[in-house]
């Protein structure tokens, strides 16, 4: 079967086109796709150029390309028809129904969805990101200003999750690594007790953890399956005893973990994707 080219075409970043495109393609899992994003297509000339490129790609492969399009301008979008591709216009099916429901015509604005529309909200996002960076694995830190506090053994996935929560949900996400001392003491560290309602426990399958630690510190005791099993067991028992909600990172992406945390804390401020 020939590989089918898929183009995410946009007058902005192309993130919306790629997001919905990927979601659609996951529903056709048996097919082989080669995806490419064409962003900032902002003139008739560029639209014509890419239509020609896409046509040539389809012809050389002998298969009809797919275009997932979020260009707002009708004239530019019409140029894409010359590509011979199956062009799926992401917004088109919804705009008329929205116009009717809202009693207003849409204002075609180019590439606004991922632009810096609200500088103050953007500052909060960047500030949250800095917070996550400076409150990463820091045992001597103060968590009063944190919105969320992730707890878990070393390499359970706390740091990327915190960064994601900050970048996409403007959450001040801190993390606390359970140290060998904490695990030996087998009780929730004193400094975390004051922040119970912010706590989320991360856990991970010990054999997966062992693999991750082995890559980081090959041959160390820290990376043995025995130590991984013991640490995870103590941490999980602690979370259970202290009624801290637990999320496993073994088969769960940071997007999913973050979504679960956000759902749990009932966040109502805007997110950024």
Which residues inside 189-228 make contact with a second copy, applying CB under 8 A?
Answer: none
The mark string for 134-153 relative to a second copy (x by CB under 8 A, - otherwise) is --x-----------------
**Interface pick for a second copy out of 48, 78, 114, 229 (rule CB under 8 A):** 114
Residues within window 68-87 making contact with a second copy, judged by CB under 8 A:
70, 72, 86
**Interface pick for a second copy out of 55, 78, 252, 265 (rule CB under 8 A):** 252
Torsional class of 137: left (φ above 0), alpha (ψ -120 to 50), beta (otherwise): left
The one segment of 75-83, 90-98, 141-149, 236-244 that binds a second copy by CB under 8 A: 90-98
Number of residues forming the site for a second copy (CB under 8 A):
79
Tell me how far apart the alpha carbons of residues 67 and 35 are, in angstroms, rounded to a whole number.
10
The one segment of 13-21, 54-62, 197-205, 223-231 that binds a second copy by CB under 8 A: 13-21
- Residue closer to a second copy by CB (options 167, 234) is 167
The residue with tokens 């150029």 is 49
Tell me how far apart the alpha carbons of residues 169 and 166 are, in angstroms, rounded to a whole number.
6
3-state SS, residue 247: strand
Answer yes or no whether residue 254 interacts with a second copy by CB under 8 A. yes
Secondary element (H or E) of residue 267: none
Backbone φ and ψ of 37, nearest 5°? -100, 130
**Interface pick for a second copy out of 44, 52, 56, 126 (rule CB under 8 A):** 126
Answer yes or no whether residue 19 interacts with a second copy by CB under 8 A. yes
Burial bucket for residue 15 (CB in 10 Å: 0-12, 13-18, 19+): middle
Residues within window 152-171 making contact with a second copy, judged by CB under 8 A:
157, 159-160, 163-164, 167
Min dist CB 82 to a second copy, Å, is 17
DSSP string, 3-37: PEEEEEE-SS-SHHHHHHHHHHHTTSTTS-EEEEE
With CA atoms as reference, report the closest residue to 12 among 116, 84, 92: 116
Min dist CB 262 to a second copy, Å, is 7
The mark string for 40-69 relative to a second copy (x by CB under 8 A, - otherwise) is x-----------------------x-x---
DSSP letter, residue 176: E
């Amino acid at each position: 079967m020939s590989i089918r080219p898929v183009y995410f075409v946009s007058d902005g970043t192309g993130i919306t086109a790629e997001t919905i495109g990927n979601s659609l393609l996951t529903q056709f899992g048996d097919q082989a796709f080669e995806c490419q994003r064409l962003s900032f297509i902002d003139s008739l000339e560029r639209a014509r150029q890419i239509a020609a490129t896409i046509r040539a790609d389809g012809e050389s492969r002998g298969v009809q390309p797919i275009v997932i399009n979020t260009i707002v301008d009708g004239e530019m979008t019409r140029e894409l028809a010359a590509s011979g591709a199956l062009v799926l216009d992401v917004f088109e099916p919804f705009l008329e129904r929205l116009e009717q429901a809202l009693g207003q015509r849409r204002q075609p604005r180019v590439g606004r969805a991922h632009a810096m529309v609200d500088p103050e909200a953007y500052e909060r996002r960047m500030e949250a990101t800095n917070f996550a960076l400076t409150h990463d694995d820091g045992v001597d830190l103060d968590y009063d200003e944190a919105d969320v506090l992730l707890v878990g053994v070393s390499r359970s996935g706390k740091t990327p999750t915190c960064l994601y929560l900050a970048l996409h949900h403007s959450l001040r996400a801190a993390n606390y690594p359970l140290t060998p001392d904490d695990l030996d003491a087998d009780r929730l560290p004193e400094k975390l007790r004051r922040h119970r309602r912010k706590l989320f426990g991360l856990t991970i399958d010990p054999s997966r953890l062992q693999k991750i630690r082995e890559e980081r510190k090959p041959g160390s005791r820290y990376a043995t399956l025995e130590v991984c099993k013991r640490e995870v067991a103590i941490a999980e028992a602690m979370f259970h005893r202290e009624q801290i909600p637990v999320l496993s990172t073994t088969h769960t992406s940071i997007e999913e973990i973050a979504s679960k945390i956000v759902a749990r804390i009932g966040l109502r401020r805007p997110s950024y994707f």
